[in-house]
Amino acid sequence: MPEIKPPLTDLPIKTATSGFYNGFSLDVTVTSKLAVGGLVLWAVAFPAQAGAVLSGLNTFILANFAAWYIYVMAAFVLVCIALAIWPTAGRLKMGGPDDVPEFSNFSWFSMMFGAGIGVGMLTWAVAEPIYHFNNNPEVIQGLATARGEDNFLNAYQWSYLHWGFSAWSSYAIAGLALGYFTYRRGLPLTIRSSLTPLFGKALSGPLGHVIDIVAVIATILGVAQTLGFGVEQFVAGMSRIGIGDWLLNDEGTASTVGILFAIFIIMGASTLSALSGVGKGIKWLSNINMGLSIFLLAFLMIFGATWFGIQALFLGMWEYVISLPAMIFTVYRGDGGEVSQALENWQGAWTVFYWAWWVAFAPFVGLFLARISKGRTIREFVLGAVFVPAVMCFVWFSFAGGTAIELELSGVAEGQIFGATDGDKIFAMTGIMLGETLGWIMAVIIVILLMTYLVTSADSAVLIVNTINAAGDEGPKARPHIIFWGVALGLVVAALLLVGGLTAIQTAMVIGALPFSLVMVLMCLGLFKAIYNDGIREKNGVPSIYPAAADPAE
């Protein structure tokens, strides 16, 4: 019988010991800054070329990697199911045998939901069901009627696909991989640690640096996507409450001045919040955020289309669950026919885009989930991090989107919600429901809620990027580095919006997520190998838990 070796518990990562980059990995930090700075300068200095190149790359990726994104996300769902039902995996803790969860279940669920969803709810809980009510694969294939009652559940089936178990499975894998190796092995809280079963000590060098750099760039582009949607919606809201028509252009979308105005406010507030730290600014904003979210959801449940929303929730979830195997594995390929090409275009614009977005968001959300989940078993973590937040998304979509659909079906909205931009749809809906004066008050509340979501997303991203740059150490958060990433994030959003609008951000994010999707596949393999080996170690009395490993900064 071969000797059973203990796991790797020491992964030294070289960091600067003095000067401006004290506590940070020079290789990761400087390279990440150059890459993000280069993207901004390129977009600003050569906007036409940048727009054309991004468009060409988007076409190339959709033609060649759409299937990869579809199958990778399907694999993540299967991996989470396997980890939950695998007896050896299910009982292992993210931590030592005496570690207990730091947060109650309610607090844990609330923080997971806020980290993973945030601003997306305010834009897409109304906009996406409305869009799919008008067009989706069943409509394209002639199996349902656009804007017809027979298309109602299809709208929810596809909305739930994009915001349900697939999205949260990708977050859960990133969070579990980070938490498992940090709290069972004492390894640094950074992306490279999750690949130690595959590459071992080699991750201390260039290979590990590349993995962390890929994670930083994916995070910046993923959060930039969220902020891009948020900027459009923030400008629409500011215009609704009477700040000024100068915020909008002739097409009703954010003008150049409006974009710069919104980014200045959002990134200024988020940078100040990040400088104050998690215990002050982020916690204070999160409390406001949760209170306003509960108020808005309660308003929609009570005064919106309540019965319609209940049907959307339960019938939509049933349709989603029974259709899930087919939906997550189907790749639409154009064969020259009009219908097949329309299906491929639809999937590229929606499903592939979302899968790239969630992959890009995974290092950000995953690292946060790991930080708040120490002491929980793998089964508890997987079920809690996938099922509960997904159901909360379904509740938001059913009552917000259901109210909008019901207003259009009944003729009350008279096409106003259909005709509004994506970011403006929630303002159009509440305006129709409440009238001019009360609608204005609700618009103010939504703008404040949107602002808190945007600021908490941006400042959390800045702190997490700095954690990765500092080799997993949450200590050295020097003010200049926080300010740099706050400014850089704002500039990425502004530059890409001005070059090609949300499409340019979407394209950059799809490109940036591609290499990290490979890292996530390796995370899955590393997890399975580590859990299998830990099971063998337990049976043979070989320790597998080393929470007090060497300081990664040494």
Mean pLDDT of 231-247: 85
The answer as to whether 11 is a domain residue is no
Would you state the pLDDT for residue 31?
96
- Please give the pLDDT value at position 283: 62
* Token pair 């379904």: residue: 394
Question: Could you tell me the pLDDT band of residue 282, with boundaries at 50, 70 and 90?
Answer: low
Q: What local confidence, expressed as pLDDT, does residue 549 receive?
A: 42
Please list the residues that pair with 377 across neighbouring strands.
Answer: 93
DSSP letter assigned to residue 478? -
**Residue matched to tokens 């799809």:** 510
Whole-number Cα distances in Å, 494 to 118, 216, 270: 20, 19, 15
pLDDT band at residue 364 under the 50/70/90 scheme? confident
Q: Say which residues have a Cβ less than 8 Å from residue 265's Cβ, sequence separation at least 6.
A: 234, 451
551 pLDDT band (50/70/90 cuts)? very low
* pLDDT tens track for 413-456: 999 999 998 989 999 999 999 998 999 999 999 998 888 888 87
Give a yes or no: residue 152 inside a domain.
yes
Judged against a pLDDT cut of 60, whether residue 463 lies above it is answered with yes
What DSSP line would sit under 348-359, residue for residue? IIIIIHHHHHHH
pLDDT tens column, 476-532 = 567 888 888 988 998 898 888 887 777 888 888 888 899 999 999 999 999 999 999
- The band of 412, judged by pLDDT with boundaries at 50, 70 and 90, is very high
pTM: predicted TM-score of the whole model, two decimal places: 0.92
As a dihedral over the C-alpha atoms of residue 386, residue 391, residue 393, residue 394, rounded to 10 degrees, the angle is 140
User: What is the rounded CA–CA span in Å between residue 499 and residue 513?
Assistant: 20
Q: Residue 429: its pLDDT value, please?
A: 96
Tell me if 162 is assigned to some domain: yes
CA dihedral 174, 227, 48, 60 (to 10 degrees): 30
The owner of tokens 């000797």 is 3
Residue 386 belongs to some domain of the structure: yes
pLDDT recorded at residue 117: 61
Q: Is residue 42 part of a domain?
A: no
| pLDDT surpasses 70 at 280 | no
- What is the pLDDT, as a whole number, of residue 398? 95
- The whole-number pLDDT of residue 97 equals 83
- pLDDT over 70 (residue 279): no
- In this predicted model, which residue has the larger pLDDT, 137 or 553? 137
What is the pLDDT confidence band of residue 355, given thresholds at 50, 70 and 90? very high
**Number of other CB atoms surrounding residue 159 within 10 Å:** 29
Which residues are CB-contacts of 283 (< 8 A; sequence separation ≥ 6)? none
328, 162 in Cβ contact below 8 A? Answer: no
User: Whole-angstrom Cα distance, residue 448 to residue 454?
Assistant: 10
Please report where in the chains the tokens 């997550």 appear, as a residue. 328
| pLDDT above 60: residue 130 | yes
Would residue 23 count as lying in a domain? no
- Per the CB < 8 A criterion, the answer to whether 233 and 443 are in contact is no
Residues 280-288 have a mean pLDDT of: 65
Which tokens sit at 314? 């339960």
- How far is C-alpha 199 from the chain's CA centre? 27
Q: Which of 204-213, 275-284, 388-397, 445-454 has the highest mean pLDDT?
A: 204-213
| DSSP designation for 194 | G
Distance CA 448, CA 181 (A): 38
User: How many whole angstroms separate alpha carbon 397 and alpha carbon 381?
Assistant: 24
Q: What is the pLDDT of residue 277?
A: 57
pLDDT at 548 over 60: no
Q: Note the pLDDT of residue 163.
A: 94
**How many CA atoms lie less than 13 Å away from 205 in the CB half-sphere?**
4
Q: How many residues does the chain have?
A: 554
* Structure confidence at residue 521 (pLDDT): 97
Averaged pLDDT score across all residues of the chain: 88
- Residue 376 belongs to domain spanning: 68-538
Whole-number pLDDT of residue 139: 97
pLDDT per residue as tens digits for the range 44-54: 888 888 888 88
**Which segments within 191-307 are labelled E, that is strand?**
none
- Evaluate whether residue 544 is within a structural domain: no
From 131, 142, 71, select the one nearest 343 (Cα to Cα): 142
Question: Is 387:115 a contact under the CB 8 Å cutoff?
Answer: no
- All residues at 6 or more sequence positions from 316 whose CB lies less than 8 Å from its CB, including other chains: 153, 156, 157, 159, 160, 394, 397, 398
3-state secondary structure of 118: coil
Spatial neighbors of 381 by CB under 8 A, at least 6 apart, are 94, 172, 175, 176, 179, 369, 373
For residue 467, the SS3 value is helix
The Cα 224–Cα 43 span in angstroms is: 14
pLDDT at 319 over 90: yes
Residue pair 253/232 in contact (Cβ under 8 Å)? The answer is yes
Q: Is residue 553 scored above 80 in pLDDT? A: no
Of 191-195, 279-283, 343-347, 383-387, the poorest mean pLDDT is in 279-283
Residue 242 has pLDDT above 90, yes or no: no
Considering only CA atoms, which of 409, 440, 457, 388 is closest in space to residue 123? 457
Q: What is the pLDDT of residue 552?
A: 35
Residue 12 belongs to a domain? no
Report the b/e string of 123-134 with b at 16+ CB within 10 A: bbbbbbbbbbbb
* DSSP sequence for 435-451: HHHHHHHHHHHHHHHHH
**High-pLDDT (> 70) share of the chain, %:** 94
Give phi and psi for 281, each to the nearest 5. Answer: -60, -50
**Residue 510: predicted pLDDT:** 85
For the stretch 60-72, pLDDT in tens is: 887 789 999 999 9
Please check whether residue 504 is in contact with residue 512, taking contact to mean a CB–CB distance below 8 angstroms.
no
pLDDT (tens digit per residue) in 79-128: 999 999 998 888 888 888 888 888 888 778 777 766 656 667 788 999 99
Nearest to 346 by CA among 131, 171, 69: 131
d(CA 22, CA 15): 7
Q: How confident is the model at residue 341 (pLDDT cuts 50, 70, 90)?
A: very high
- Say how many domains are in the chain: 1
CATH code of 423's domain:
1.20.1740.10
Residues 6+ apart with CB under 8 A from 378: 83, 84, 89, 90, 91, 92, 93, 94, 176, 180, 531
Place of tokens 């993207």: 39
Say which DSSP state 242 is in. Answer: T
